[in-house]
Amino acid sequence: MRVGLSISSASFESDPQVGAQSIIERARVANQAKLDLLSLGDHHLTPMNYFQNVPMLGRLLAEWQAGPVGCLFLLPLWNPVLVAEQVGTLAALTKSTFVIQTGVGDGEAIFKTMGASIKTRGVDLEQSVATIKSLFAKNVIDGDSDLQVNPVPTQNIEWWIGASTSREGIRRASRIGDAWYAAPFLNVSKAQEFLEHYLESCAEHNKQPRPVIRKDVIVLKDGNKAMELGDQLIEKGYRGMQRDAVIVGNPEQATEQLRPYKELGFTDVTCRCMTIPQESAIETISLLGEVRSHLNS
């Protein structure tokens, strides 16, 4: 099972430069741990500092040489030509596989402010994926040689299609994606339930399945401290998640919590640190390599 990192782009620091430097430090430690993926999320119109994915990922690539890199795009909120151009530029900064992670987004007020419709977000996502793939393959728009997207990626591009409990979203992942990017709030039971839908849909479309899941984690050498931090966050309503959906403990405990997902057939887990102090986040990231070793031993 591959173990990657999705760095949280939100910062509660009053000084945005402090928050930005903490993200850079996390990427540096992930590179030292030789994790299998570095990625950033996508969010807009937030009440706290949120560092936008494209410029921040460009900076982080100066720290990351370990392997594949990814970026989440809530595609219904983006112009697909702009996404194609941004990904083309980011991909030119690395020779590794570039993973385009997608989501439909949420929040009617956000969609309205961004000039998008929440009612058509599923269709809009599919159309955007088709447009971007076409631009990467042909470079030009509507056959007009004066309208080109350059540069285009020269390396392998993977499409991870995010879907949680929507069967249509999971079918979409099997139809147009290289992987189903499962939501972090799925516990083992729910993950198994929706994995069955995904596998059935892959079989219908003659596609090779690749289930991937994201998990919110705290991994510390002191497992009791990790548990205490995790319990406190869950009690405060952390992202609306239940305790059995997060991975919390020492490396051995985290391994045993992740193992059922591996046994179900999930090929990758992308870990995101829960809202913990920078020192604990750095320790968590540095220990994820150890967790991977335990998982695959």
Q: Which of 99, 13, 53 is nearest to 281 (CA)?
A: 13
Whether the pLDDT of residue 132 is over 80: the answer is yes
Percent of the chain with pLDDT over 90: 96
Q: How far apart are CA 176 and CA 198, in angstroms?
A: 12
Contact 126, 67 (CB under 8 A): no
Residue with tokens 């782009």: 9
Contact 182, 214 (CB under 8 A): yes
DSSP secondary structure, 191-209, as one string: HHHHHHHHHHHHHHTT---
Whether the pLDDT of residue 32 is over 90: the answer is yes
| Total number of residues shown for the chain | 297
- Look up the CATH superfamily of 2-216+267-273: Luciferase-like domain (3.20.20.30)
Q: pLDDT averaged over the chain?
A: 97
User: What does the pLDDT read at residue 115?
Assistant: 97
Contact 33, 289 (CB under 8 A): yes
User: What does the pLDDT read at residue 139?
Assistant: 75
Extents of the domains making up the chain: 2-216+267-273
Helix (H, G, I), strand (E, B) or coil at 182: strand
Tokens of 201: 């849909």
Query: Nearest 5°: CA angle at 94, between 173 and 213?
Result: 30
User: What does the pLDDT read at residue 145?
Assistant: 81
Contacts for 33 with CB less than 8 Å, ≥ 6 apart: 66, 285, 286, 288, 289
Tens of pLDDT, residues 241-287: 999 999 999 999 999 999 999 999 999 999 999 999 999 999 999 99
Contacts for 209 with CB less than 8 Å, ≥ 6 apart: 174, 180, 198, 199, 202, 265
Tens of pLDDT, residues 168-191: 999 999 999 999 999 999 999 999
Phi/psi of residue 273, each to 5°?
A: -65, 135
Whether the pLDDT of residue 100 is over 90: the answer is yes
Contact 151, 158 (CB under 8 A): no
The torsion of the CA quartet 107, 108, 114, 116, rounded to 10 degrees, works out to 120
At position 40, the amino acid (one-letter code) is L
Whether the model clears a pTM of 0.85, i.e. scores above it, the answer is: yes
Q: Which of 209, 200, 225, 199 is nearest to 277 (CA)?
A: 225
